[in-house]
Each structure stands twice: as C-alpha cells, then as structure tokens.
Amino acid sequence: MSSILIIDDTDKYWELCTRFMPEHVFLPPARNYREAEATLAHARDVDLVLLDVHFDISEAELLPEDKSELFARGDPGRVLERLRRGQGLHILDRLRRSHPDLPVIVMTSRDDLPIEADAERLRAQDYTYLLDEEYLDARSLRLQVEGILAQRARPPAIDEPFYWGQTPRMLGIRRRLSILARGRLPIILLGDTGTGKTLLAREFIHPRSQRTGLFVAVDLSTLPHELMAAHLFGVVKGAYTGATASREGVLARAHGGTLFLDEIGNLSLELQKQLLVVLQDGRYTPVGSVEERTCDIKLVVATNENLAAMVQAGRFREDLYMRLNPATAVTLPPLRERGDDFATLLDEFFVRVAREPYNRDLALQYARQRGLQIPEGDAAMPIMVGRSVSARADPRRLLFLIHPSSYKLLREFHWPGNFRQLEMFLSNLVTLTLVELVDQAELVEPGDPSQASRPDVVPILPRMARDLLKPMEPPKPVAAAADADGEGGGGFNMQVSVRPQESLNAVSCDVERQYLERMFDTYGGDLGRIAEVLLGDAGGGRKVQLRMNQLGIKLRKLKRKRGAG
Ligand SMILES: Nc1ncnc2c1ncn2[C@@H]1O[C@H](COP(=O)(O)OP(=O)(O)OP(=O)(O)O)[C@@H](O)[C@H]1O
Ligand SMILES: [Mg+2]
C-alpha cells in the first residue's frame, strides 16, 4: 500500500484512481501548486505524485506568481490561457526543486499537448496520455504506478549481481529470501537448470546471512558416491586405502558460514541420515574417526528434482526433507515464464556481456573505425528494440538496435538452459555482430556515404539472431514409426527400444536388428529397395540379406508374418 498525491484541478483522476487502485491510499487532490506544497509538507511519506498538465484555475492560483513580465510581452488573456494549458509543467519545475527525489507521473488527456520533451527535461519518472476511456486509462496508469513503486521498493541498486526484474512474483521472492537469509533455518532453492540458484545462494543469501564464515558450495551431482562422505565430513589418515593424510571436510570449512549443497537429491540415504544429525545438533564424525565434531552452518540446498516425489518414492528421507524447511522453499521461474520482465532482463544481460573484455575491445575498435569518442571507462552499451533510434540518443555511446521481429523471436523462444543460455547467446550475438562490422569497415573508404548514418547505432542483423538461435532449438521428436515412404530428407526415422544387454556390441546389434526388420516391413520385403536406401545401390540386396542373417533375422519368418498381416 502506497500513498499517492494527485495534483489536478478536478476530481476526475482521483475518482478513477480510487476506484481502480483500491490497494493504494490517494490523498485528497491538490488543486494548485500551493495546495500541493502544503500537502507534501504535512503528509510524510508520499510515494508518488500524479500530475495533470492542464489547470483551469484562477489567475491568482496560477504559477508563476509574478506574471507582470509575461503580461508586458503579450495579451494578458493569451498569457493566462497558455499558463493554464501548461500549468502542470510549471508545477513540476517547482517540485523538482523542492522535492528532487519524489517520483512524478505527468498525465494529460489532451493529445494536442506534446509533453514528452518537457516531462523528460523536468525529470518526470513517466508521462501518459489518457484517452477518456475509463478502463484503458486506469490500466495504463496502474501499470506505470506499479512500475515506479516497485522500483522505489527496491533498495538502492548496489549493482546486484542477481537480476530480479520488476514482477511482483520476483519481488516477493526477494523479500522472502532476505528474511530467510537472516534466520537459522535451511533454505531450499528449486528451479530448472540455469535459473540462478547457485548465484542466488552465493551472491544474495550468504551476504545477507550476517554470518562471518565462508560460503562453500558443493555440487553433489559431480561427486562420486564413494567420495561424498569424506568430502562432506572430512577423513582421518588411514581411514581407507588412499586416505594418506587427514583432510577437512566442507562442513568444517563452512563452519560459521553457509554451506550450499547443489543437487541434494544425489545424497545417499545413509548420508542423508548423517546430514539430518548435523541439522539437528550440529554434530558429525569424520570418516574413520571416533571423535565427534561440531559445526555451525547455514544450509542452503538446491535441486531441479521434485524432492516431495522423491520422498514418496522412498529415495529421500522424510525426516530430512521436513528438516530442510520445505514450507518456505523458493522456486525460481524459468526464463520463458518471466513475462514482462523479459525486456529488463535482456537489457541487463546485454550490458553484462557487452562489458566482457573481448566484446569491449571489439566495440572500442569499431568505435575508433567510425570516429566515435567513446570514453574508455564507460562501456555500458545498452540494447534497444526498434526499427530506428531517435536523434536524442547520446552519440558518445554505442547503442545496439534489435529489430522488433528478432526481439519477438527471443521473447518467444523456450530457453531450456535459461539464463546461462541467454547469456551465452547474447555474448555470441555481440561478438559476431561487432566482428562483422569491424571487418566491413575495413573494406570501405572513409567518406563512403553508406557509413554516414548514425555510427553510434549498431544494428543487430535479424539473420544473425536467427542463426544463433537455430542450433538451440529442441530436436524434433522422433516419429513413432517410419514416415510415409520412410526416407524423407531427414532420413529414416523410427523408434527403437533399447534394452540392457551383456555388452554394448550386443545393444547395437539389437538396435540394428529392430531397424532392419522395420525396413523390411516398410519396403514390403524388397531387399533391393532397402539396399538403395542404405547403400545408395539397388544392387546391394545380397549384402543386406547377409547382414540380416548375421544378426539372426529369419527372413522366411518375416515373410510369413507379412503374408499373414
Ligand atoms: N537472475 C540472474 N541474474 C543474473 N545472472 C543470472 C541470473 N540467473 C542466472 N544467471 C547467470 O546464469 C548462469 C547460471 O546460473 P546458476 O549457475 O546460478 O544457475 P543454477 O540454477 O544454479 O543452474 P544449475 O541447476 O545448472 O546448477 C550464471 O552465469 C549466472 O550468473
Ligand atoms: Mg547451480
């Protein structure tokens, strides 16, 4: 719930807002600048101001207070009319001086009043044209209000390495994790691969835990089972052959800090029991030792398996699961479900990859070729979606321009590898785009007219984006049976079942047997046709027959089966 002040000479917007945004408190509207200042002086904690532009108010209430100079220059009637039309901007100018940090949305229902430039000059957070269509107006206002309030709710951005975006779902997760981080209870992080579980544990949870010890991460999916116990609990010399020296385990290293166990589902039932004891009384025994040790750790676990289902299947101990505090488990949504955040995240990842030394060097090289003076230290190269760039962009900065159709492609891509994949994709996109431009620039003469247009804008070619996405598309599902003639451009697709055998050779013979039988069926027993498909030689039917004999396929039996079917 936020406190919002509307500055407007009528009740129109106040009524609209109180009706459509009941979750916020709207203070009684201020009718002019003087009332606005009075309200702001008394009501502490106004979060946002909505400011109309056109004010039909008396001469005495209009800014500026002293109009004599204006009157001297023109017809007083006209002067007042102009002041009324743009009164909101005069008010904004004053508010900027008295309340520099107060967010303001400028709004007008008169589309004949261009307010963009003034709103920007006077550092309004946003502006909006309302259409006198109640529902649509309320919707667009609400989106802007929520966007600005969410930004304000964020603590000052200390360049957080974990990008949160703006959606209420993610801001909710952030709030929850800041609280859980400080407590003693374990935290479960769920989410598909590449959704940021490890990053979150290291860069967000641990720093907020107020613990002085180390952050220690262990990926249990990469540890051989037989080494897990020693790795976690430590081992004493001579505990087993190969234990030539005593070694500390990660529990000891994370003492006083945070232990992050990735892919917790890989822990054996026996080790699960030992971990439970650690959580219950902070006690454990190194492998081969008789002496118990104690530790104080904050445990964060992650998995992309369904732990509850593992408990049901008897593969995860219920008592450990309950102890991990499943009621507060946090699920990080996959990239494709990040909805309206996609644009923000794209932006943030883009700036990150463009800053990588390799991409940065290429960008500086390109800038030099085009005669741009990019300050060395300022390498934040943003990305913009659009067909062209307005003339207002800062020409001392490179700006990447992505075509709306390519943006749509990215937005609708399913991103199975989530942020890890997005980051890699964007890094390739920046590199290849710049390499191509740098190479091109070497070929053109200085003064070539094709080089004249906006050297600060780097267009991302739709072809480039498309080509880089293509290899990441999921493989087409294999057809359940051979397609119509069994040999389209994609080859002969079919499903085979792979059964365990005594050797790999036996497995491949079994698979080969299945597909030869299927081909026999598809081509009506015509061995010449099969040879044509497999060897490109219709005369090779004999070879196929021998091979089938070798594999133990009884041709006569197959023929009889065909005859019966
Ligand atoms: N919200 C985010 N903000 C910034 N970077 C992110 C975010 N999420 C993921 N990344 C980046 O994506 C990559 C993968 O993240 P991370 O390793 O944390 O994923 P994960 O969920 O632990 O994946 P896995 O299940 O495969 O271990 C890292 O390079 C990380 O920096
Ligand atoms: Mg991870």
CATH code for position 54: 3.40.50.2300
Based on the fold, state whether residues 265 and 294 are members of the same structural domain.
yes
Based on the fold, state whether residues 96 and 218 are members of the same structural domain.
no
Full residue range of the structural domain in which residue 15 is found:
3-153
Residue 158 domain-assigned (yes or no): no
Give the residue ranges of the chain where pLDDT is below 70: 113, 153-159, 375-380, 389-396, 444-453, 474-493, 563-565
Ramachandran assignment for 501, one of left (phi > 0), alpha (psi -120 to 50 degrees), beta (any other): beta
pLDDT of residue 377: 62
Distance 417 CA to ligand 1 centre (A): 9
Q: Which residue puts its alpha carbon closest to atom 6 of ligand 1?
A: 196
Sheet holding 187-190, edge to edge: 215-219, 258-262, 298-303, 187-190, 330-331
- The values of phi and psi at residue 384, to 5°, are -130, 140
Q: How many domains does the chain have?
A: 4
The closest-lying atom of ligand 1 relative to the alpha carbon of residue 202 is 18
The closest-lying atom of ligand 1 relative to the alpha carbon of residue 304 is 25
Instruction: Give the pairing of strands 104-108 and 293-294.
Output: unpaired
Q: Could you say which ligand is closest to the alpha carbon of residue 217?
A: 2
Residue 300 domain-assigned (yes or no): yes
pLDDT of residue 42: 84
* Distance, CA of 331 to chain centre: 14
pLDDT of residue 295: 96
Q: Is 196 in the pocket of ligand 1 (CB under 6 A)?
A: yes
Residue 209 domain-assigned (yes or no): yes
pLDDT of residue 158: 46
pLDDT of residue 117: 74
pLDDT of residue 243: 77
Cα–Cα distance measured from residue 100 to residue 123, given in angstroms and rounded to the nearest whole number: 9
Based on the fold, state whether residues 409 and 492 are members of the same structural domain.
no
Work out the burial of residue 66: count CB atoms within 10 Å of its CB; fewer than 13 is exposed, 13-18 middle, 19 or more buried: exposed
Cα–Cα distance measured from residue 21 to residue 41, given in angstroms and rounded to the nearest whole number: 24
Based on the fold, state whether residues 488 and 452 are members of the same structural domain.
no
- Where a domain ends, among 427, 455, 472? 472
Based on the fold, state whether residues 143 and 252 are members of the same structural domain.
no
Of 170, 419, 423, 424, best ligand 1 pocket probe by most atoms within 8 Å of the beta carbon: 419
The closest-lying atom of ligand 1 relative to the alpha carbon of residue 419 is 12
Residue 37 domain-assigned (yes or no): yes
Residue 163 domain-assigned (yes or no): no
Q: Is 199 in the pocket of ligand 1 (CB under 6 A)?
A: yes
Distance 408 CA to ligand 1 centre (A): 23
- Where a domain ends, among 423, 442, 472? 472
Residue 41 domain-assigned (yes or no): yes
Based on the fold, state whether residues 467 and 552 are members of the same structural domain.
no
pLDDT of residue 338: 92
Distance 243 CA to ligand 2 centre (A): 29
Q: Is 304 in the pocket of ligand 1 (CB under 6 A)?
A: yes
Count of alpha carbons within 13 angstroms of residue 148, beta-carbon side: 22
Residue 496 domain-assigned (yes or no): yes
Cα–Cα distance measured from residue 448 to residue 450, given in angstroms and rounded to the nearest whole number: 5
The structure tokens 């439970």 sit at 276
pLDDT of residue 477: 46
Residue 161 domain-assigned (yes or no): no
The closest-lying atom of ligand 1 relative to the alpha carbon of residue 162 is 3
Based on the fold, state whether residues 381 and 285 are members of the same structural domain.
no
- Where a domain ends, among 333, 364, 387? 333
Distance 420 CA to ligand 1 centre (A): 6
